[in-house]
């Protein structure tokens, strides 16, 4: 029973780390490759890995007599629309800015979850989420997001945030009928079909299909594709769907704030960006908010369970 509580939190932390560095790898790859070509290779790689795992019997999927219509809607928001918005936003902003914008997800998810899932957060949870968001805004002010990044890029990232919030809601509903691996497998296959189809048609019109394969001569591109295709698309998405199946949507979404921390750390130690005392304070507030949301969420679950026992 203890592991049932620890594993979702651990899954959320690992996912946040992987997603945090994914912005860095995406930015590095975008120097040498077009946005939609990167997405086509990313999801193509992810799908091949999943098909191999399924063929070997390591993962199992069964979609017979299940509601695939809702699964298609989920795949439309994530990965299709989300990654269109994310990569277009990333191409116009910085790694840290992208991570910071993703921290807005918990607010959107909390609002949607209270309406569609009837998951009303407790007052301490709400305060924890807002504490985390205040930390995000401190980091934003210190990064001068509205001057260093393109306004259009910020708008694209807001679109990605809305899509990610929708994923949190739909995935939790679908977890009743589908296993996390089934949701992940369907999402990756949909992304591979859409983005590879788009890339093929685009290069076909331009008449430069052969130029695409020349990209594999760039080591940075290969490393980015492997990281994004295997770790970020397969491992992290599986953990995300597992996390959403075990935690309330508002608690699961708050791990997006950890992604901000990782993206800032990546900027400081890898891209040699400055890191002020104000950014340190903001980062600490984000971490405290993540802890508070999960801690008080667990206390709320215990109170709810105790009330059920008393009623019985």
Distance CA 104, CA 132 (A): 10
CB 146 within 8 A of CB 154: yes
| Higher-pLDDT residue of 114, 37 | 37
Dihedral in degrees, nearest 10, Cα atoms 303, 252, 3, 127: -40
pLDDT at 216: 65
Q: Whose structure tokens read 């116009």?
A: 92
Residue 47 CB partners (closer than 8 Å, separation 6+)? 188, 189, 191, 192
Sheet strands (E) in 104-253: none
- Average pLDDT of the chain? 81
| Higher-pLDDT residue of 92, 143 | 92
Distances (CA, A) of 232 to 62, 100, 212: 24, 18, 22
Q: Whose structure tokens read 């295709």?
A: 229
Among candidates 256, 250, 18, 21, which has minimal Cα distance to 136? 256
pLDDT in tens, 38-84: 999 999 999 999 999 999 998 899 998 888 888 999 999 989 999 99
């Amino acid at each position: 029973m203890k592991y049932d509580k620890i594993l979702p939190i651990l899954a959320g932390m690992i996912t946040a780390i992987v997603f945090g560095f994914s912005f860095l790898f995406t930015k590095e790859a975008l120097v040498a490759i077009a946005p939609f070509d990167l997405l086509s290779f990313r999801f193509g790689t992810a799908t091949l890995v999943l098909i191999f795992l399924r063929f070997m019997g390591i993962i199992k999927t069964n979609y017979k007599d299940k509601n695939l219509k809702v699964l298609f809607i989920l795949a439309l928001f994530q990965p299709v629309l989300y990654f269109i918005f994310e990569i277009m936003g990333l191409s116009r902003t910085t790694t840290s800015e992208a991570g910071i914008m993703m921290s807005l997800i918990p607010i959107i998810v909390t609002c949607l979850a209270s309406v569609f899932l009837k998951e009303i957060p407790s007052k301490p949870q709400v305060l924890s989420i807002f504490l985390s968001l205040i930390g995000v805004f401190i980091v934003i002010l210190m990064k001068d997001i509205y001057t260093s990044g393109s306004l259009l890029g910020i708008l694209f990232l807001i679109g990605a945030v809305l899509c990610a919030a929708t994923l949190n809601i739909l995935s939790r509903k679908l977890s009743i009928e589908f296993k996390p691996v089934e949701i992940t497998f369907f999402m990756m296959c949909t992304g591979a079909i859409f983005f590879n189809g788009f890339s093929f048609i685009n290069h076909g019109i331009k008449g430069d299909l052969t130029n695409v394969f020349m990209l594999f001569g760039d080591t940075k591109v290969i490393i980015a594709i492997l990281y994004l295709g295997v770790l970020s698309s397969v491992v992290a998405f599986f953990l995300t769907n597992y996390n959403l199946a075990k935690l309330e949507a508002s608690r699961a979404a708050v791990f997006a704030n950890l992604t901000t921390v990782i993206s800032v750390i990546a900027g400081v130690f890898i891209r040699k960006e400055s890191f002020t005392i104000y950014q340190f304070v903001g980062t600490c507030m984000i971490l405290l908010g993540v802890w508070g949301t999960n801690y008080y969420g667990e206390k709320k679950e215990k109170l709810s369970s105790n009330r059920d026992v008393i009623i019985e």
